[in-house]
Amino acid sequence: MKVSSESFYNKVLEHFNTKLPFVIYNKPNSNRISGLLQKNDDVYNTVNYKESGFIFAPFDVEKEAILIPLNHSESIECYKEVTSKNVFSIKNISYHSEKENHIHLVEKTINEIKNSEIKKIVISRKKEVLIEDFDFVSIFKKLVYKYPQAFCYVWYHPKVGLWVGATPETLLTLNNKEFETMALAGTQKYEGSINVLWGEKEKEEQALVTSSIIENIKPIASAIDVSEVQTVKAGSLLHLKTAIKGQIENASIKDFVSSLHPTPAVCGLPMKAAKDFIIKNEGYNREFYTGFLGALNFENEKTELFVNLRCMQYVENKKLALYVGGGITKDSNATLEWDETENKTKTMLDVLTK
C-alpha cells in the first residue's frame, strides 16, 4: 500500500512502540521506500529458502537466518521525499587498548598468512559509542539521502535487536534464472575523484575475491559474464568492483547463496580456514555484521540480497555498536588497516553527527 511519507514513518514508529518486528529499506538508486511490518512477534526462520519474505542472515551459516514472512506482514511504501536535520550527540567509549589490540591482531593475521596456505583473512572489530536521543527514523532518512547508491535499512525484532546500515555490496540479485553478484574489495578514501590509482595489495586482494566467486559458482551457473574492474564510490570511500552476471543452472537459491556466502570480501580464502581463524581470534561475535539481508522470493520470484556492511546495532540504553573490518593479505600494513577501519566507521558516524 502506497502512503504519504508522514504516515509511512508514523506507522513504522507505532509498530516499533508496540514492539513488533519490521524492516524499512531503500534499494540502490530507487526513490521508493519499502516497509514490511510483521503482525506478531514470533521469530520465523528460513528453512529451505523457498519462503517469501525479508531475510536477515548472520555471518555464521551454522546459525539461523531470520525471516519477516510476507504472509504475516503488511507491506507499505512511500516515496523518498524527506530528509532530517537531526544531529545526535555522540560520545566515544574508547577502550585505551582498542587500537593496540586491532594492530596486534592484524600483525598476528599477517604472520598466519605468511606461514600457512591462507591467502586472505578479513579482520573486523566493534566500535562502541554512546548516543543521546536515539531516533531510527531520523537516522534512516539521513542515510537514504546521503547514500542513494547503497542499500539502506533499519531492521528490528524485539527478540533479536535493532540494526541499521547502508551497504555498498550486493550478494545476489536473482530474477528467474538471471543472476548478478559482485566482487567488492580494496579501499581508499574518496578525495574528490574516482580516477585514482590502486596499489598492488588492493588489486590483488580484489582479484582474489573475483576468482574465488567465479570458481565457486561455476558448477551451478552458465553464461558467466565478468566485467572490467571499476572504481566505485561508497560514501567517503572508494572500492574496486567487478560485476559478475550469468544464469543459474539446476540449483536452488539456497545452493546458490551457499556457494557465495561468506565471500572472501568478508571472510577470506580458503573460506573454512579463514573462518576458523576469525572465530578463534577476533574476540567478539559478529552476529549479523557480514551476514546478508534482503528480499527473498518477492513477487515475480525476485530475490535481492545485500551483504551487511557499514552497519550498526542499537545495543541497549544509549549504546551503539559500529562494525567495521578490512581484508588482510601478506602485504598488509597493520597501522594502515586500523586507519581503514576508522574511515569505515565514518559511513555511520557522519550521518549521526553532521
Ligand X SMILES: C=C(O[C@H]1C=CC=C(C(=O)O)[C@@H]1O)C(=O)O
Can you give the binding site for ligand X, defined by CB under 6 A? 122, 124, 169, 184-187, 239, 265-266, 309-310, 324-327, 344
If the CB atoms of residues 213 and 220 are measured against ligand X, the closer one turns out to be 213
- Nearest to residue 313, comparing CAs of 126, 143, 169, 175? 126
Grid coordinates in use for 281?
581470534
Q: How far is the CB of 266 from ligand X (least distance, A)?
A: 5
Secondary-structure percent of the chain, ordered helix, strand, coil, rounded to 5: 30, 35, 30
* Residue entry with cell 539481508: 293
If the CB atoms of residues 240 and 257 are measured against ligand X, the closer one turns out to be 240
If the CB atoms of residues 139 and 266 are measured against ligand X, the closer one turns out to be 266
Q: How far is the CB of 177 from ligand X (least distance, A)?
A: 27
If the CB atoms of residues 199 and 219 are measured against ligand X, the closer one turns out to be 199
Q: How far is the CB of 150 from ligand X (least distance, A)?
A: 12
If the CB atoms of residues 138 and 313 are measured against ligand X, the closer one turns out to be 313
Please give the Cα distance from 293 to 307 (Å, whole number): 7
If the CB atoms of residues 35 and 235 are measured against ligand X, the closer one turns out to be 235
Q: 3-state DSSP call for residue 127?
A: strand
Q: How far is the CB of 124 from ligand X (least distance, A)?
A: 6
Q: How far is the CB of 307 from ligand X (least distance, A)?
A: 8
Please give the Cα distance from 323 to 341 (Å, whole number): 9
| CA-based torsion, 283, 294, 266, 258: positive or negative | positive
Q: 3-state DSSP call for residue 54?
A: strand
In this structure, are residues 55 and 46 in contact, taking their beta carbons and an 8 Å threshold?
A: yes
- Nearest to residue 105, comparing CAs of 322, 339, 335, 310? 335
Grid coordinates in use for 344?
569505515
Q: How far is the CB of 158 from ligand X (least distance, A)?
A: 27
- Nearest to residue 346, comparing CAs of 318, 320, 310, 315? 310
